[in-house]
Amino acid sequence: MRKSRYICWLSALMMTEGDFCAIRSANADLPLAVGPATIMISGMLPTSYSTHFVITLLASPGKEPLSTAFVESMLPTLALQDVVVNNTAWLKPGIACDLFVTHDNQDALDAKVHAAICDHPYDAVVQPASNRGKKLIISDMDSTMITVECIDELADFVGKKSEVSAITERAMNGELDFAAALTERVSLLKGLPLTMLQECYDERVKMMAGAKELLQTMKKHGAAAILVSGGFTFFTSRVSAELGFDEDHSNVLETAHGVLTGRVLLPILGKEAKLQKLREACEKLHISTNEVLAIGDGANDLPMLLAAGLGVAYHAKPIVRAQAKARINICDLSALIYVQGYQ
């Protein structure tokens, strides 16, 4: 028995990329009954690793489902990269599946997993297997909890959306100082009637798919929720109430005689303030940063994302995707329910 297992393991290591692709393709057509055999191959790899991680494979609702065949095809893929899959568990059929593995480096494991996914329309999040359920969610608002950038939409009411959007894009990519970019954009809104803010909210601000479900699930499990935004209190207060955040923090637009003056009140809430809000919340709740889920898409979210136990770049700018530990590029926010191990 030992000799046959050794030969099986050695054969796997000697396979060429073409051999591997053929096996992966074949696995996709195999019946479920052969699943345990594939798992056994991965378990044969000799290893001295001792850190336990979970890989959560995720499909977007309404798009190509996550199949059992694809999940099983991942096992020999990872085995060839010395990633030992100890167990698999479905969180929701067709949507989310956990692979429990042992490895010595999270970044290296993450790279291997995303290489294995190739061009398939799925997301994957790699994290330590313990303490998945977070006790605090702290999130950006624009293009994260809602589908638009509010300042860009306000600029449309004064015929300057293209100009403001270009500045927003550069600021979110980390090319511009956030405070300076915000000040410049707000100056272009001078004279906008306050009634237009409510019109903008009613007509253009839409909640991100999965946002309400994520908040409801986390609060059901006792988590606190904070919305932090480089946007404006007019919008964060309304989004916070609609989604169920406990508190919100953002910038205040100066007004006079029923219109915007083109100025934002100081201090400006930027990346340092977002990080500070995270730290203050942890102290208040008596939790560690490892117990925090942080979500954002722009460069001003990076310090907050990097400080959190689970910092997620959500449909984010390249600079954010490159540095964040976790990325959601395809799925909606409901994916983060399963990432925390909830069904």
Sign, CA dihedral 182-272-292-218, equals negative
Active-site entry in 98, 110, 123, 142: 142
Give the C-alpha separation, 274 to 277, whole Å.
Answer: 5
Active-site entry in 98, 110, 140, 248: 140
Give the C-alpha separation, 75 to 23, whole Å.
Answer: 11
- CA end-to-end distance (rounded Å), the chain: 39
User: What's the angle, vertex CA 310, arms to CA 306 and CA 314, rounded to 5?
Assistant: 80
140 among known catalytic residues: yes
- Residue position matching structure tokens 């508190």: 247
Q: What region, left, alpha or beta, does residue 74 occupy, with left being phi > 0 and alpha being psi -120 to 50 degrees?
A: alpha
Hey, what's the torsion of the CAs at 12, 115, 208, 339, to 10 degrees? Answer: 40
142 among known catalytic residues: yes
Active site residues: 140, 142
